[in-house]
Structure formats: C-alpha cells, structure tokens
Amino acid sequence: MSARQRIEVGGHAPYAITIGPGLLADREALAAPLRGRHVLLASDSHVAPLYADGVSDALLAARPGVRVDSFVLPAGEASKTLAGFGAAIDALAALGATRDACVYALGGGVVGDLAGFAAACWMRGIDCVQLPTSLLAMVDSSVGGKTAVDLPQGKNLVGAFHPPRAVLADTSTLRTLPDRELRAGLAEVAKYGAIVDAGFLDWLAAHASGLLEREDAALAEAIARSCAHKAAIVERDPFEHGERALLNFGHTFGHAIEAGQAFDGLNHGEAVAVGMVLAARLSARLGHATDADADRLQAVLERFGLPVALPRGLAPDALLARMRLDKKAQAGGLRFVLWSGIGRARVVADVPEAEVLAVLRAA
Ligand code: NAD
Ligand code: GLY
C-alpha cells in the first residue's frame, strides 16, 4: 500500500482523514487527538480480537496515565440498536468518562455509527475518533459525522450529527476483511462515480480485478478518491440541507430492503447496490435518464460480485410502506435521489408511488 494520504474536512468542526498502512500501530497518530485521560475503545466481536489490544497498547504507550476500557458489540447490523447504544452508555458510565473523554470507534460502520452516537450523547457530546477497518467505513461511514442506531421500523431512525475529532483509516486492516465485506465497500465506492464522477466509474470498471484482488495501489486510490468526494460534499453541506442528500443514492430502496429483511439478509453495501440499480431504473422510467446508463452502472456492480436484483420474499407493497418512513420522505410524498445520467444525481420530490411500485415489481 502506498504512503499516507491526508484529506482535510473543513467547516464548523474541521478534522483530518488520514489514510495509509500501519496507522493502528502509530502511537503518536493514535494519541494525538486525545485530550483527557479516559478512553472507551469500542469494537465488535470480529474486529476486537484482531486489533483492539494493539490499539490499547499503543495508546497506553503514548499516554501512560490514561485509562482505556473496552466495549465489544456482537458483530453485525443486528447490534446497531438502542440496546447496544445503552450498553455503550453504561460502559462510559463505568469508565467514569469526563467531558474530555474520547470514544475510539474501531471497526466497520456498525461500530462507528453506534459508538459515534454514544459519544454524541454522553454529557451532550464528547470526542470520537473513528478507526474504520472495513472498506465501507473507510470510504463512507467514518467521514461526515452521521451517527445512529436502527429501530425495527427502519434504519438509522435515532441518531445525531457528531463529526469525529479525527479519522485514521489503517489500510493494512483490509487484509483481514472478508471478501463479501470488501465487495460491500465497493458498492459505496461506486456510488461516488454514480452520483458525481462518471470518470471514476470508468476507472472502477477498468480496475475491478485489482480491487477485488486487493492490490494496494488500486485500493489506496479508490479510498482516497472516495474520501475526497465525501469530504467535499459534507464540508459544503454538513447537515444535509441540500447536496449531501445525493450521498443517499440507492439508499431509500436499500434501507427498505435491509429493514424488510430484519437487518439479517443483504448487508448494507449489498442493499445499496440493489437500491442504486433500482434508482437508476426509476430515473429511466421517469424519463430523466436512459436504461443504457442504468445498464452501465449495473455492469460495474455485477463485476464487483454485488447483487443487483431484489432478494426473494420482499413484497413490493411492504417495501413501499417502509419507504414512506424513510428520512428522505417528506409530508408531500416520496423523495428519491435520482439521476440524469452517470455522475449527475439530484433530489426529485413527489415521485408517484405507482412508478416506484412498477420498478419494484420489475425487479
Ligand atoms: P459492519 O460494521 O457490520 O462490518 C462488516 C463486517 O466486517 C462485520 O462482521 C465486521 O466485524 C467485519 N469487519 C470489519 N472490519 C474488519 C476487518 N478489518 N477484518 C475482519 N473483519 C472485519 O458493516 P459495514 O459494512 O462496515 O458498515 C455498515 C454500516 O454502516 C451500516 O449500519 C450503515 O447504515 C452504516 N453506514 C453509515 C454511514 C454514515 O454516514 N454514518 C454511511 C454508510 C453506511
Ligand atoms: N452516507 C450518507 C451521508 O453520509 O450523508
């Protein structure tokens, strides 16, 4: 993997994203954002045995007087609940965390979202350092400050905006990431091409083999280009009053699929892959784009080994009912991020439900 890259996220609460190999063993890089003497190191049952001791040892070596408690969630989306959040809050209480305490979120997007939300709420907000270990978390969830947990009624329905104090993406950790999770991350990488950068989608198509074979240079470039896109968007629109909504391309469908499968079917990246194809097809159906563009996006996602059709057992009517509860829906009707072609996404309000149902039935 190539040398470290640094991307600044400006705005009301600026921070840096550092990307590169070996960051979890870099004592100074890990300890630099720490202001106080209390650390809650949050992780999950897959990631903690691999990396938590190393992070804890490095922090203690850099700051001998610090207390580091660990908090480990069962791995998987099913843990991203109010109960999991409550357990994280209990861990902060047991730590005696003061206002200058810091939560280190070591893991994928599930840990990052839940631990970030705990940091947002403890004493009305303490520091959080994101240590993403999945590709998806490196390119998306660790950046931008969205934190949340799920309810049975839907994804991310309880949460807060709480920007991290720093993001340290140690690309060496991708070596232990399961293939399925690597592909899920590639769905969110492809999203940036789909919404704002048609040339990037072409680059991904050309480098698909290298990415799937985890070639260092290909992964480093995909992560840096994705983070640069995300950083630019969240800097301009941190609270999703406008442009940031484009990052939800495919997510209205995807979130309904995840909730419809009780967060135990397709994973987030896979559901987003299906959702992006459905959003592209809906765009074509409404006359905003062409089916040829949708075919092009679908081909890249298929090349990555991602699902592109609705899983069996999900009734279109039930999915539509879930979409009405999506955070992007407004009182007036369904809103979707659609596109006018690859790299040209926009928010479209009042999309007729009959058209959405037609796309779901065709999928
Ligand atoms: P995840 O956190 O469940 O991680 C996927 C799996 O990979 C888990 O089993 C995890 O234990 C394992 N894993 C992670 N890193 C590993 C490593 N280096 N080695 C071995 N195993 C590893 O899922 P995810 O795909 O990382 O994140 C999905 C979540 O992120 C969803 O809840 C989604 O809603 C959220 N998300 C949030 C944002 C945001 O802006 N906050 C953006 C996108 C997605
Ligand atoms: N992943 C969507 C966002 O950060 O806004």
| Catalytic residue chosen out of the listed positions 77, 181, 221, 240 | 240
Model pLDDT for residues 212-271, shown as the tens digit of each residue = 999 999 999 999 999 999 999 999 999 999 999 999 999 999 999 999 999 999 999 999
Domain boundaries in the chain?
Answer: 5-176, 179-362
CATH class of residue range 5-176: alpha beta
Q: Looking at the CA of residue 147, tell me the nearest atom of ligand 1.
A: 41
- Is there a common fold for 5-176 and 179-362? no
Identify the three-state secondary structure at position 227.
helix
In degrees and rounded to multiples of 5, residue 17 shows phi and psi of -100, 120
Q: What is the pTM of this model?
A: 0.96
User: What is the arithmetic mean of pLDDT over 52-78?
Assistant: 97
CA 90, 93, 95, 100 dihedral sign is positive
Q: Looking at residue 155, what DSSP letter applies?
A: E
Cβ 38 under 6 angstroms from ligand 1? no
Model pLDDT for residues 21-47, shown as the tens digit of each residue = 999 999 999 999 999 999 999 999 999
To the query of whether residue 37 is one of the catalytic residues in this protein, the response is no
Q: How far is the CA of 345 from the centre of ligand 2 (A)?
A: 14
Q: Looking at the CA of residue 188, tell me the nearest atom of ligand 2.
A: 1
User: Which range, of 256-260, 281-285, 323-327, averages the lowest pLDDT?
Assistant: 323-327
Using CA atoms, how far apart are residues 325 and 319, in angstroms rounded to an integer? 10
Cβ 136 under 6 angstroms from ligand 2? no
Tell me which of 2.30.110.10, 1.20.1090.10, 1.20.1440.230, 3.90.1150.10 is the CATH number of domain 179-362: 1.20.1090.10
